[in-house]
Amino acid sequence: MSELRQRNRYRPDIAYLALLLLITAIAYWPVSLHIFSLKNDALNYFLPVRRLVSESFHNGQLSLWTPYLNLGYPLHGDMQSGAWNSIVQLFSLFGPYTLYTLQLETLLYVFLSGTGMYYLLKHFNVHPLANIMASVAFMLCGFNSDSCQFLNWISSASFLPYVFLFYYRCLEERSIKQGIYTAVALYFLFNCAYPADFIITAYLMIAMLIRRIILDWRKPIQWKNLLLTHGAMMLLFLVLSLPAIFSFYQSLLLTERGTGASYEDVMSNPLHPALLSSYLTPLAVWKMPGVEITDPLERNSYIGLLAFILMLTAFFYRKLPAPASFCKGAMLVFLLFSLGEMGGLRIVAYYVLPLMDSFRHPANAKLFTLFFGCVLAGLLFHQLITSGVDKRFKRGWAVCLLLLVLLFAVAILSGPTLLSASGWAAAKGSLSDRIKQLLESLSAGDLILLNILLQVPFLILLFRFIRQRQFGYATTVGILNCIVFTMLFQPFTVVKNTRAAVVQQRINEIKKDGYPVPDLRYTLAQNGEGNEQYMHEIGVRNMYSKQIGRSDYRVSPSNLLVQNQFWFNEPLRQRLLQHPLLYSPAFIFPIADTATQARDSTGLIAFIDDIKAPLRIDTSIQGTIQIKDFAPQSIHFETNAIGDNWGVIMINRHPRWELYRYGQRVKLLDANVAFMAFEIPPGPQEYELTYYQTDLQIAWWISTVVLFLFIAFVILTRLRKASAPALENNDPAS
């Protein structure tokens, strides 16, 4: 009966999930109520790109190419665009993205990180109070509140717990079923999350596999079963990820990211060791001196006061529920990795491990440190609840107090201005203005002191409740502590002081639905005028207005190499931006003449690779070019020339572009460094420029059908278990 009660305490999953959802909404109330807007990269990149992706998908097309980004860009080859993100595609069924959609997607990732941790700890049969505490700690951790501007980063936090859970079970049970669940979790991590986190997770899984083999080395290892399980897992992952793999494999070779990263780039943005103080005093990281090597959006490691004390104390316990020992080792490894050169491991990984030379931001690895720290906190809290508090816990508590005293001493020695009235006396204006000026004038020492003052009441309450074994109250205090500091940190990293309705209204004023036919009377430079007019409000204008131009702001995280060659050739760029999207040149030059002719010639010009000597086209035979129908992946146009002529398409070339004249394939030539040209015969002609996508469509349909079959399998399994008299197991998918 005791085991039955132990399992029954987890029956109302819906209640725990509803609590996590409520906590998410409360902690991120400026976002959940759409009072304030997300900012920076969320508006400059993710929202306009998500809108382009969702508009295509909502209109029944895969989002593969957009002409509105840097004169043409393969969205399907950008790992961060969301073109293959199933969650983005699901949201797109209801219409093109708005700011409100983006903010809901952001909250969904935060919520999923909590539910993933919940189901992981549930598998280890952790007490509900310990579970909900650790789940909230991870859900509201500093990584999420730091990185809300980067949707692919926080989606890494969403799916990491599921990958760890299912693969851990896969190794425990040698079960093909768990291998299937692992494959689906990996699929979401690969298609939705930051690519670096997928690579790191793959190495984490290898470490888990090696650990399991070592633990079982005295037992007869069932290699056939192990290979079969992993084979099924890899096969399903490849099938589900097929369209993304096709896209990324081709596009990486054509973009900056495909060339790898230098040692200096890879080591950029490590976690400065001084920022480890954010485990206790996160509010000070913005003003802390000497930590400029770490990006401001990667400085916060807060997981809540209670979770930190428990995580710290766990290292004083030799025996904890599985997999505590693995979590301790993994936590230390990723902590060293996140420090970059100072930790040493990032250097070794760069030179030794495949793909570890392809991404930057060592500080991003703190996600894994916080993840394993929260698991440790949950496991120890479970032991305290079920076995009682002993002197080892007091050691951890003493270490925490010592750290707070040291931080307090650092704050005092730094000469805080908070202790004098000079800051308040110097402030002017209304009460709110004076408060704002005072806050801006605070030093790192001031913020540490304020942070400690905020922590003291929580510290006293936690000590009292845990000593008296009132773990329910301790859990409540721990959750409130996480909520308070998440709220306090949002103005720095999550939202800006602009109402969401104001930002969306600005977008509505300039956006154009559908795909308007470009007016060839205007040049690319004219189309690009005012592109950065609302840069700080909504990003680049033409991604909403659907005018094909170019902005100095690059927008995409990985530009096409040919576009870079064009853009960094300033004389050529300035000259060719005076041309329309589609034109017939009066002068044609060999590509080697770009340096001189870009400055000296007048009229419409073109530089075509196959031309060996300059050509002058008689204007009397040029004729006309007119676009009849336009879409991002298909352009239908007509020409009517008196004699043989040439046409130039000022859209970045890509191997998937194909040109047809009356259904017959026409050769596309490289022109103007980054673009395309074609020959025009005399008389009226009809052309269609199309972006080849048959292979991607087939791959997407296969992936989608298999994903729906998996969902149907999960639903049927749940229904079967619900109707069976047997006890439920701990499987979140069952």
Cis peptide before 12 (omega within 30 of 0): no
How far is residue 73's CA from residue 653's CA, in Å, rounded to a whole number?
A: 9
Q: Where are the alpha helices (DSSP H) in 414-531?
A: 422-426, 431-441, 444-467, 471-493, 500-510, 524-527
Question: What CA–CA distance (Å, rounded) separates 549 from 281?
Answer: 46
For all residues of the chain together, what is the average pLDDT?
A: 89
Q: Strand, helix or coil at 416? A: coil
Helix (H, G, I), strand (E, B) or coil at 358: coil
DSSP annotation of 283 reads G
**CA–CA gap between residue 170 and residue 218 (Å, rounded):** 20
Q: How far apart are CA 301 and CA 138, in angstroms?
A: 10
- Which alpha helices (H) appear in 546-693, and where do they start and end? 561-567, 570-576, 594-600
Phi, psi (deg, nearest 5) at residue 541: -65, -45
Q: In 3-state terms, what secondary structure has residue 732?
A: coil
Taking the C-alpha atoms of residue 198 and residue 155, their distance in angstroms, rounded to an integer, is 11
Which tokens go with 410?
């650092």
What span, in angstroms and rounded, lies between the C-alpha atoms of 343 and 366?
A: 13
- Nearest CA among 262, 372, 258, 265 for reference residue 311: 372
Tokens of 466: 């845990």
Distance of CA 727 to the CA centre of its chain: 38
How many angstroms separate the CA atoms of 524 and 545, rounded? 14
- Of 303, 79, 115, the closest CA to residue 196 belongs to 79
Dmax (CA) for the chain in angstroms is 96
What's the confidence (pLDDT) of residue 214?
87
- Tens of pLDDT along 35-73? 999 998 999 999 999 999 999 999 899 999 999 999 999
Closest CA to 680 of 630, 612, 606, 613: 606
Give me the pLDDT at residue 5, please. 37
Q: Are 584 and 623 in contact (CB under 8 A)?
A: yes
**How far is the C-alpha of 228 from the C-alpha of 219, rounded, in Å?**
19
At 3 the pLDDT is 37
| Amino acid symbol at 727 | L
Give me 455's structure tokens: 């922590």
Q: Among the residues of 577-693, which ranges form H helices? A: 594-600
Amino acid (1-letter code) at residue 32:
S
Six-digit token pair at 507? 């977008």
The torsion region of residue 623 among left (phi > 0), alpha (psi -120 to 50) and beta comes to left
**What's the rounded Cα separation, in Å, for the pair 232 and 240?**
12
β-pair partners for 255: 560
Question: What are φ and ψ of residue 15, in 5° steps?
Answer: -70, -40
- Residue appearing with tokens 């991404």: 359
CB 363 within 8 A of CB 334: no
CA distance 52 to 47: 9
Q: What is the pLDDT at residue 6? A: 46
Q: Name the amino acid, one letter, at 447.
A: L
The residue to which tokens 């991120």 are assigned: 28
If phi over 0 gives left and psi between -120 and 50 gives alpha, with beta otherwise, what is residue 68?
alpha
| CA 370 – CA 113 distance, rounded (Å) | 12
Q: Which residues pair with 665 in a beta bridge?
A: 660
Angle, helices 366-387 vs 471-493, to 10°: value is 160
How many whole angstroms from its chain centre is CA 658? 32
- Euclidean distance between CA atoms 143 and 164, whole angstroms: 18
Rounded to 5 degrees, what angle do the CA atoms 469, 474, 476 make?
140
CB proximity list for 329: less than 8 A, separation 6 or greater: none
Of 491, 465, 468, nearest to 476 by C-alpha is: 465
Rounded Cα distance, 492 and 488, in Å: 8
Q: Does an H or E element contain 581, and which?
A: none
Q: For the chain, which residues score pLDDT lower than 50?
A: 1-8, 419-421, 726-728
**Cα–Cα distance measured from residue 666 to residue 678, given in angstroms and rounded to the nearest whole number:** 8
The 10 Å CB-count burial string (b at 16+, else e) for 7-35 is eeebeeeeebbebbbebbeebbebbbebe
List Cα–Cα distances, 325 to 52, 232, 306, 328, 444, in angstroms.
46, 29, 20, 5, 36
Q: Is 418 helix (H, G, I), strand (E, B) or coil?
A: coil
- What is the three-class DSSP state of 27? helix
Rounded Cα distance between 396 and 10, Å, is 29
Distances (CA, A) of 213 to 203, 353, 483: 15, 21, 41
Quick one: which of 632, 476, 650 has its CA closest to 573? Answer: 650
Sheet holding 634-641, edge to edge: 624-631, 634-641, 683-691, 657-661, 664-666
pTM for the full model?
Answer: 0.92
- Of 396, 365, 402, the closest CA to residue 160 belongs to 365
> Can you give the pLDDT at residue 726?
45
The pLDDT value given to residue 266:
93
Cα–Cα distance for residue pair 348/356, rounded to 1 Å: 9
Radius of gyration, alpha carbons of the chain: 29
